[in-house]
Amino acid sequence: MVMIGAVQTRCYIYVRTNRKTLTNAVLKMGFTRTLTTVWLAEAVRLHEVKNGRCEDTQETHEAIRQGATLETRLLIRANELAKSLSLATVAKGIAGQARWVLAGLIFFGLLGGVSAAISALGNGQSPVNLLVALLTLLGLHLVTLVLWLVSTRIETAGPPGLGKVWLTITRKLNKQANQQLLLQGLINTLNRAGALKPVLGTISHIVWSAAMVAVVLTLLVLLSARQYQFQWETTLLGAGVFVELTQLLGWLPSLLGFNVPLNDIINSSISTPSSLPNAGVVWSSWLIGCVLVYGVIPRIVLLAVCIQWAKRKIQHTPIDTALPGYVGLRTTLMPHSNVVGIDRPASSVASTTRPAGPKPFNKDAPYAILGLELSDEAHWPPMAVGNLAKDLGRVDSRAQRELVLHSLNTHAPEQIIAMCDASQTPDRGTLNFLRQLASRSAGLYIVAQPSQSGNNRYDIWQEQIAQLPVHSAHLAPNLQALFDTKLSPTHDAR
């Protein structure tokens, strides 16, 4: 597996790029849905929503052959496509970079812990102010810990802190289109599973745990190698405050065997270092116990909680088959009948039965209609739009195309009619937009009607539409033919 975390955490993302391994696993015990398979499926879905449906004849056949449910077939198809699109390899590279980013954060956490301990104790020439030392060693840690706990109780994109720093740096290091696509796919997948917060929390607690362990180890080394004196300093507070504070903070560490200073040591340490025997030893034990109990242990406990939280959520990573990019695949991946081979040789008498044509347009079902780069003389809408139709208007500019696609992302109809000018040759941009439309519906019905009676390039439209890597696009010469269900198939029935 490819770890999202590190330092022996169990929050993993594993990318299996070996086709033989995947195939053997499928044949022996069925396709196993993991975070990796769902992640790659989401990345492929985003790719197809943006660029149109991929050529997937072989992948669809394998998905139908190996999978039993729609979800399983979607995952098998997407993971096979991820290999041909090199997304699996890119995902492995992203995970490797994420590990290095985490290692860098851990390194800086260790440096920060060492620096905090040295700063809190000073050079040994002057007494250590215990209040300042506690704030230096535990202040920022406790503030970020409280913020993280609050964030788990409110609806946010994720807890603040080092987890988001790790994610931001990882995204900055992966700026290519495929890399950004995969990272967005990972975030979408974790969000739908409810695992983004615990995963980012795991990263944050790993770094903080490393920092607090560095603090304790540095304190042990410095306090063993140098002679330090400790005191409480104040202008406003009375001596009784320090007595109560010392005993309160020392109660939990005392359960683990750490010393709690007696009242005479505390009183003698106010404003000036105590001259009582072993006062420095007692204060050293008390300080280390406070850092261990209030710094190291909470982070390690929360790290374990986040790992188990993330693991539980990831085990139930969902697949939403109603998302754009999946809707149009239902009829392809769940056909009513499959071709399994030749049952017997054909009879010598030629069959007169014609093969089934494409799915006809259902004029009694809801549909959306739009005009794609029509001539200025063309009237819009071309017919009376009833309650069943959603008029998307004329689509001429790139901005208008993006607006239409965004609208279809939130509500994808089963049928889309695209009115086109057959007097114009379809260019690459037009064909790409039609691919995107087809990926957002179960049926795209392209009406290529010429605006000039003497210039009809319908044959060219037939040829170009037939080459689209989609299986739900159908072509008609006019609206009358469409509503009479006289369609020209752009693909052989599968």
Residue 403 sits in a domain whose CATH number is 3.40.50
Q: Kindly tell me if the per-residue pLDDT of 233 is higher than 60.
A: yes
Window from 152-161, 378-387, 438-447 with minimum mean pLDDT: 152-161
Indicate if 301 and 434 belong to the same structural domain.
no
306-359 pLDDT per residue, tens? 999 999 988 877 788 888 888 878 888 887 545 444 444 444 433 333 333 457
Task: Look at residue 494 and tell me if it is in a domain.
Answer: no
Closest CA to 482 of 388, 438, 419, 425: 419
Evaluate if residue 417 carries a pLDDT over 50. Answer: yes
Whether residue 371 is found in the same domain as residue 300: no
Query: Is position 463 within any domain?
Result: yes
Same domain, 291 and 397: no
Mean pLDDT of the chain: 81
Q: Is the pLDDT of residue 227 over 80?
A: yes
Which tens digits make up the pLDDT trace of 34-67? 888 888 989 999 988 888 888 888 888 888 888 8
Band of residue 110 on the pLDDT scale cut at 50, 70, 90: very high
Quick one: 428 and 282 in the same domain? no
**Distances, alpha carbon 314 to alpha carbons 2, 70, 189, 309, 358, in Å:** 14, 20, 9, 9, 40
Region 362-372 average pLDDT: 87
Per-residue pLDDT at 263? 86
Is residue 254 located within the same domain as residue 381? Answer: no
Task: Summarize the confidence of residues 140-144 as an average pLDDT.
Answer: 92
Given a contact cutoff of 8 angstroms between Cβ atoms, the answer to whether 67 and 155 are in contact is no
440 and 310: one domain? no
Two tokens at 31?
């396709």
Which of 298, 314, 330 is a domain's end point? 314
Residue whose entry in the numeric block shows the structure tokens 């903080």: 208
Characterize 120-138 residue by residue with b for buried, 16 or more Cβ atoms within 10 angstroms of its Cβ, and e for exposed. Answer: bbbeeeebbbbeebbebbb
**Do 199 and 212 form a contact (C-beta atoms < 8 A)?**
no
If one counts the domains in the chain, the total is 2
Long-range contacts: 372-377, Cβ < 8 Å, 24+? 372/418, 372/419, 372/420, 372/430, 372/433, 372/434, 373/420, 373/421, 373/424, 373/430, 374/419, 374/420, 374/421, 374/451, 375/421, 375/423, 375/451, 377/451
Residue 32 included in any domain: no
Alpha helices for 70-151 (secondary structure H): 70-84, 87-121, 130-151
CB-neighbour burial class of residue 264 (10 A; exposed 0-12, middle 13-18, buried 19+): exposed
Residues 6+ apart with CB under 8 A from 39: 13, 91, 182, 185, 186, 189
Q: Pull the structure tokens for residue 261.
A: 């200073």
Tokens of 29: 């015990």
Out of 314, 331, 348, a domain closes at: 314
Buried/exposed code over 371-394 (b: 16+ C-beta within 10 A; e: otherwise): bbbbeeeeeeebeeeeeebbebeb
Specify whether 154 is located in the same domain as 280.
Answer: yes
HEC letters along 37-53 = HHHHHHHHHHHHHHHCC
Residue 288 has what pLDDT? 95
What kind and span of H or E run contains 128?
Answer: strand 128-129
User: Which residues make beta-bridge pairs with 232?
Assistant: 270
Cα–chain-centroid distance for residue 135?
Answer: 37
pTM score of the predicted model: 0.64
299 and 445 in a single domain? The answer is no
Domain holding 434, by residue range, is 367-489
Buried b (16+ CB within 10 A) or exposed e, 328-359: bbbbbbeeeeeeeeeeeeeeeeeeeeeeeebb
- 121 φ/ψ angles, rounded to the nearest 5 degrees: -90, -25
Phi then psi for residue 387, to 5 deg, are: -70, -25
pLDDT tier at 4 (50, 70, 90 boundaries)? very low
Does the structure show a pLDDT above 70 at 135? yes
Higher pLDDT, 396 or 212: 212
pLDDT tens by residue, 247-276? 899 999 999 989 988 888 888 888 888 888
pLDDT score at 118? 94
Of 267-276, 292-301, 398-407, highest mean pLDDT: 292-301
* 401 and 301 in a common domain: no
30 or 126: which carries more pLDDT confidence? 126
**What is the model's pLDDT at position 235?**
67
Are 137 and 256 part of one and the same domain? yes
Asked if residue 237 lies in contact with residue 131, where contact means CB atoms within 8 angstroms, the answer is no
pLDDT at 51: 84
- The per-residue pLDDT for 32 is 67
Residue 158 is classified by DSSP as S
Q: Does 158 have pLDDT greater than 90?
A: no
pLDDT over 90, % of the chain: 26
Q: Is residue 456 assigned to a domain?
A: yes
The reply to whether 421 falls in a domain is: yes
Same domain, 299 and 380: no
Interval 13-25 mean pLDDT: 35
pLDDT-wise least confident of 88-97, 457-466, 481-490? 481-490
Nearest partner of 160 among 144, 179, 174, judged by Cα: 144
Indicate the angle between helix axes 177-193 and 87-121, nearest 10 degrees: 70
Asked if 206 and 8 touch (Cβ cutoff 8 Å), the reply is: no
Of 294, 314, 334, the residue at which a domain comes to its end is 314
Residue 255 lies in a domain: yes
In a domain, residue 39? The reply is no
48-57, 217-226, 287-296, 462-471 — which is least confidently predicted?
462-471
Q: Is residue 350 part of a domain?
A: no
**Statement to judge: residues 142 and 260 lie in one domain:** yes
Rounded percentage of the chain residues whose pLDDT exceeds 70: 84
195, 310 Cβ separation under 8 angstroms = yes
Other Cβ atoms closer than 10 A to 417:
24
